[in-house]
Amino acid sequence: MKRLAALLAVGAAIPLVVPAQQTSPETAAQRAESLWLAGRPWHAAETLLVAAARGFHLEPAFILAGAKAELHARRYDRARALLAGQPWLAEYADGEALAVLAEAEAQLGLAAPAAADYAAARARARGPRAALLAVRAGLAWEAAGEADSAAAAYGAARAGGLAVIEPWLRVRQARVTRDTAAAFRLLADVSPPAGREVPTARARALLVAGDSSGALEAFAQAGRALDVGRLALARGDSGRARDALYGLMARAPETDDAAAAVGVTLASLPPRTAPERVALARAMKPHGAAADARLEVERAVRQGDSSAATLLLLGDLLAGAARYRDAERAYRAAAKDAALGSLATYRRARVLGRLGDPGAREALAGFAQAYAGDTAAPTALYVLGDVLADRGDWAGAAQWFGELVARYPADVRASLARFRLAAQALRRELLDSAAALYQAEVAAAAPQRTAARFWLGKLALSRGDTATAEATWTALAHEDSIGYYGLRARRAVALPPLRLAAPPLPAPPPAVATSLARLDTLVLAGLDTAAEAEVRTVLGRAPQQDVDALLAWSDGLAVRGFGPAAVRLGWQAALKAPADPRVLRAIFPWPNRSAVQAEAAEFGVDPFLFVAIVRQESVFDAEALSPAGARGLAQLTPGTAALTARGLDVTFYPDWITVPDLNLHLGAAHLDELLRRFGGRADAAVAAYNAGVAPVARWLAREGATDPDQFIELIPYQETRGYVRAVLRNREVYRALYGATTN
């Protein structure tokens, strides 16, 4: 469901019947199919809904097209409602309608009906499609707890000619086979990456065979703590279950297994001891339950846990809840610890700053003095200068910024300090002082040296030295040709727009083509986790691949929805052939170009700017999830998505947020709204996309913010400042690589 949307129905799309009453080639059904194939399933579903509301196209072909569109749009209840009970369902289109109904049922958690409908669809299908449906039937039978039926289905799939995924099918069949000898024979000599699943499959085979004791030990040997905990709990061994589940949450709190362990423990094994409460809290915190995590840590402290690690965790949770005074007390108590004292001292100082406490300055200065070798010491000095600068005390700010630059000249915070001091010098028209700071950045080979060179050009221009400015910018444009400041310098000297011609890739090498076919077959069969394991294996072997193989893999993965992996392989290719123009296309792919351009056109936004944001936000991963809860290609929070949908009069449910074209639709609308709000200024709109409207409005009110260069340089949030530069750089690289759009 996550990767190859056009293949969800387990087969090629059938021709759609054109109704007699509509002879125009642009029928609703044809339009929906073209939208679907262009990566716009939500638009396809909406098109068919409108047509259905008018009483058109009620024959089976139209109903099936509507159900498929709803399925691709992840509106599974609607897809099921369209097909369930239709008198022609069983006989239509060689079982395709049954397969669509089965997929909708499976996604709704109706495993047994889904399995039966998949089996019925398979009986009417032929060739590889029948084998693929057998795999999906096996998955549904397995979810329904029908091991024997699942084993038979997987066996039928193996016999049906799916040799390309044979290792994965053997693993799936073995884990539901009651005869352990037969299961273990299936698991013999399974090649990686499927072979990595063999220990878990052995354990599941033992469990199916009724040997729960053997299964328990096998799960333990396989490192499957969640399965150990669940099985031990089912066997009545609450002690072992407790050790396994709380150990998992303490050891790997950010994993999906730890999140599942939270639910199991709260339902059956609530925490009793302080360490258990802390372990539970650590697993709750990264999975959206910070408030509950805080309560558990507070209970642990009341039970006597006064360790520095626990107090630090409590301080973090309290600070996250804006209870800064309580957080300060927790950090102060943790600061007595020899190992964690420096970290606690630093965090306490930052909290005092948030409180506006006059002791913050002394605390930060004391930390920087006492822990000069700590990695947070430069940040402490920078925060001191930042606080004073915000108060208008530039003499005090200069003191701390100067100390930071002197003690840590190559640190990124020293770079920030130089630029803050230079900006203040420019406001006071102290051009020589500003130039000296930029020159120091270049001399120290510090992180913002290209930015410093750009600003040296601006200083030269402000003095009337056009020749020096142009020479500086021309050199920068050539030396940093695809960097933000190199591209900005190119515009400043009116050089021709950058053009990056990349020849088309040849056909993938045979080994890559075979592996991509295996990936497609796994996705068609519904084995998404197996497909992801195959991709991880490709990434692990990347350093041993030649450039042509890396680029073929990168291109193949990008179009299949594995955007982050595709870009990583592009960077691997860059290490081997940095001058190959094809490498840039791998690093800056555009796998869903038609959908992105269509959404940009609908709202009148620059498609290059929009794709630049999508590239920066999600790297074209439709399932991307940020720590802040933003989802999908355009990384919208549920609140922003719902508000934008309401403004467009679009029906929206949170479960739909990762439907690719709906996410892009709302993202383009949101970008359009930001551009309108900020008078068409792309720099401000992009900043607001990352940081929100309110901070950007404050930053625009600052002196000098009418100059986009000054505005970007003075964005106080380091993440947002880097984000704006990256997006604007991406925009120019996409324009150079892909030329004219279809808008």
Q: pLDDT tens digit string along 120-161?
A: 999 999 999 999 999 999 999 999 999 999 999 999 999 998
Phi, psi of 639, rounded to the nearest 5 degrees: -65, -45
- Residue 441 bears catalytic tag: no
- Model confidence pLDDT, tens digit, residues 86-108: 999 998 889 999 999 999 999 99
The per-residue pLDDT for 3 is: 52
Residue 81 banded pLDDT, cuts 50, 70, 90: very high
Q: What pLDDT was estimated at residue 24?
A: 36
Virtual torsion, Cα 321, 324, 330, 336, nearest 10 deg: 140
Cα gap 590→418, rounded to integer Å = 37
* pTM score: 0.88
Angle at 19 between CA 15 and CA 21, to 5 degrees: 160
- pLDDT at position 718, please? 85
Per residue in 566-616, pLDDT (tens digit) is: 999 999 999 999 888 899 999 999 998 999 999 999 999 999 999 999 999
**N-to-C CA span, the chain:** 29
Q: Is pLDDT above 90 for 7?
A: no
Domains in the chain: ranges and CATH:
5-161 (1.25.40.10), 510-587 (1.25.40), 593-738 (1.10.530.10)
What is the pLDDT confidence band of residue 17, given thresholds at 50, 70 and 90?
A: very low
- Report helix angle 238-251 to 225-234, nearest 10: 160
Please give the helix or strand (H or E) that residue 461 lies within, else none. helix 449-462
Q: Indicate the DSSP class of residue 374.
A: S
Residue 58: per-residue pLDDT: 66
Above 50 in pLDDT, residue 415? Answer: yes
Tokens of 150: 């699942």
Under the banding of pLDDT at 50, 70 and 90, the label for residue 706 is very high
Q: Is the peptide bond before 193 cis (omega within 30 degrees of 0)?
A: yes
Give residue-wise pLDDT tens across range 610-669. Answer: 999 999 999 999 999 887 889 999 999 999 999 999 999 988 888 899 999 999 999 999
Residue 12 has pLDDT above 60, yes or no: no
Q: Kindly state the tokens that stand for 436.
A: 């000296």
User: Rounded to whole angstroms, what are the CA distances from 595 to 8, 41, 592, 668, 729?
Assistant: 18, 10, 6, 11, 22
Model confidence band, residue 56 (pLDDT cutoffs 50, 70, 90): low
pLDDT computed for residue 698 by the predictor: 94
- pLDDT band of residue 54 (cuts 50, 70, 90) is low
What does the alpha-carbon distance between residue 564 and residue 620 come to, in Å, rounded to a whole number? 7
pLDDT band at 358 (very low <50, low <70, confident <90, very high): confident
Q: Which of 103, 617, 713, 732 is catalytic?
A: 617
Quick check: helix, strand or coil at residue 631?
Answer: strand
Per the listing, tokens 């109704």 go with 19
Tens of pLDDT, residue by residue over 261-283, are 999 999 999 999 999 999 999 99
Residue 287's SS3 state is helix
pLDDT bucket at 55, cuts 50 / 70 / 90: low
Average pLDDT, the chain: 91
